[in-house]
Structure 1
Amino acid sequence: MTLTPEIYGAELETEDVTVVVATRNRADRLLETFPHHRARTILVDNASDQPQPLFPGVDVVRLGENRGAAARNIGVLRARTPYVAFADDDSYWTPGSLARAAALLREHPRAALLAAKVLVGAEQRIDPVSVAMSESPLGTPPGAAGPSVLGFLACSLVVRRDAFLAAGGFEPRLFVYGEEALLAMDLAAAGHELSYVPDLVVRHLPLPGGRDNGARARVETRNRVLTAMLRRPLPVVGRALAKAAGEDPVGALDALRQGGWAWRRRRALPPQVESDLRRLAVDNSGA
């Protein structure tokens, strides 16, 4: 069953996009953001152990375990539209953005992913990641929908469903935080375009505080190293591990402890994708 205007008062602006929302124990945020979705919507509950709101007429998937970012994969598998947009339980796409994204994906068959501009909080300040994407040193290829990117925020993506599934979606072992990098590499390695389109806009309404930033930093460090192990040349892995050891030894140790599966699944990136990643690294370092 799907989200309908009769239930929430929001008109469906496109029949070609499904919004997938992953959530866990954040009923207050869902009650604020969910009524804004203007497309078919699938809600994936990541094994919440607190009461969650009911949304009649919405496809709700209740998982028996917390799968982190990979919960989104379940929603994509259930979707029956050619394109899927992701939203977090504290975010939503602004009116017109989903219809515009569908039109762009129809116009640009090589595009597998469009990343939107993210406006944070009630004051709608632009997210630094959006600023970085707008200034991408990779430029805009001829005929592309926007500047090429290899990094983005998961809550600001519209993807071509078949390309996302062929790439494997979000890697379950990375769980959360920094899971986007591997997806970007694999989509680009498959020959797809990944573009930043600032005309597409997402509102992000995070609550202040309430999360363990130290724990998040450790997981992000671990995932950066694991992602390097999975796809990058050995010298890059060595530098990533050395940097992690200096900045967050616990995160680096976690990566080493869990690195066995990453080494077994190593796959070299095409030269152009690796070159683009190096170019981005130089640009971000200011060298």
Structure 2
Amino acid sequence: MKDPSQAAEPVNDPAWAAEPVNPESSRVTVVVATRDRRDRLFETLPEHRAPVILVDNASTDGSPAAVTEAFPAIEVVRLGENRGAAARNEGVRRAGTPYVAFADDDSYWTEGSLARAAALFDAYPRLGLVTAQVLVGPSARPDPVSAAQAAAPLGAPVGAPGPAVLGFLSCAVVVRREAFLQVGGFEPKLFVYGEEALLAMDMTTAGWWLCYVPSLVVRHFPRPAGRDGTTRDRIEARNRLLTAVLRRPTGVVVRTAAATLRESPPALWDVARSLRWALRHRRPLPPSTEAAVARL
């Protein structure tokens, strides 16, 4: 797959980003989680410029064997069940590098981005996560999430390399392995859709910086067809409410439950079935993190 964004320049680059950077880095591993998308893997895997660990969520389309045969340098981890976003946790545990980048089977990091990310982590010991500018499709259209992050609604920590964030696209982040594992990674109970919010809250609470750095660029080629929008809406609503129960004040939980009842009543039932678990694991955010979340 050729990168049509070669002529497109990321916006708001700091001065150091213009310096030439080796496009490959032995200090970063790319973890790709996938399920039944062999065709997309064969398009994107050749674009990766760092060691790759592919975590397969119990695919039935022969993806693991096909990837092993076509890309023998890639470590393929076959899971016996579909763990959703938490499959990435297994990839991070297996990574032998201090930094780990996430990619989906329909995305990849552009040349030089991972080396820049490694340099940032080396330079900023409190940096736990960086999120990149995302360019969508063949036209390299900026993702609206990147525009929202560039607006810096939370400002930037003093001395940090970019605006603070409390949300991101999972396919567009690099994490410090130590920081990710410290907070437990992605919560398996959330499965997929909206799983990033809880991780962002927990890493921030643990004292790590999470920053948007637009000189890091991810190409994303999502296909709109073949997704069940109703099911996704239900899961997203469930995860918003579960996350609120796990970390937010009681008033926020009540308001989120009321909104869930209006938007997706089945999601409320899903939360009810997990409520005992959520209450056992409830740890309200400290005031500083809660204030930042409320501001968003």
TM over 0.5: yes
What TM-score, normalized by structure 2, do the two folds share? 0.90
Amino acid at match of 2:293: L
1:139 lines up with 2:167 in the alignment: no
| 2:47 aligned partner | 36
- Whether 1:125 aligns to 2:141 is yes
Deviates further, 131-140 or 250-259: 250-259
| Partner Cα distance (1:261, 1:125) in 2 | 40
Superposed counterparts of 1:66-77, under 5 Å: 66-77=82-93
**Match among 114, 127, 130 for residue 111 of structure 1:** 127
> Is the CA contact 2:149–2:163 (under 8 Å) kept in the aligned structure 1?
yes
* TM-score, normalised via structure 1 length: 0.92
Runs (4+) of structure 1 moved beyond 6 Å?
A: none
User: Deviation at 1:239?
Assistant: 0.7
Q: Deviations over 1:85-142 (max 9, x none)?
A: 0000000000000000000111111110000011111111111111111112111122
The aligned runs of 1:46-125 (5 Å cut-off) are: 46-52=57-63, 53-54=66-67, 55-125=71-141
Distance 1:196 1:12, change over 3 A: closer
2:23·2:112 contact (CA, 8 Å) conserved in 1?
no
Residue of structure 1 aligned with 2:33, choices 19, 22, 31 = 22
The one-letter amino acid of 1:106's match is: D
| 1:217-257: CA deviation from partner (whole Å, max 9, x where unpaired) | 10000000000000111111001111111111112221122
The whole-number CA distance in structure 1 between the counterparts of 2:146 and 2:229 is: 21
Q: Are 2:269 and 1:258 aligned?
A: no
Q: Distance in 1 between matches of 2:94 and 2:31?
A: 10
User: Contact 2:107–2:218 at 8 Å: present in 1 too?
Assistant: yes
Q: Is the 8 A contact 2:260 2:268 kept in 1?
A: yes
1:172 aligns with 2:183: no
**Is this contact kept in 1: 2:23–2:113, CA < 8 A?**
no
SS in 2 for 1:268: coil
Cα deviations across residues 157-204 of structure 1 (Å, max 9, x unaligned)? 000001100110000010000000000000000011000001100000
Which residues of structure 2 form unaligned runs of 5+? 1-21
User: 1:12 Cα shift?
Assistant: 6.3
Identity %: 63
What is the CA–CA distance in structure 2 between the aligned matches of 1:240 and 1:121, rounded to whole Å? 33
Q: How does 1:188-199 map to 2 (within 5 A)?
A: 188-199=204-215
Matched, 1:182 2:167: no
Q: Number of residues paired by the alignment?
A: 270
Give 3-state SS (helix, strand or coil) of 2:100's partner. strand
CA–CA distance in structure 2, aligned partners of residues 125 and 260 of structure 1 = 43
Q: Distance in 1 between matches of 2:31 and 2:153?
A: 30
- 1:221 aligned to 213, 237, 243, which one? 237
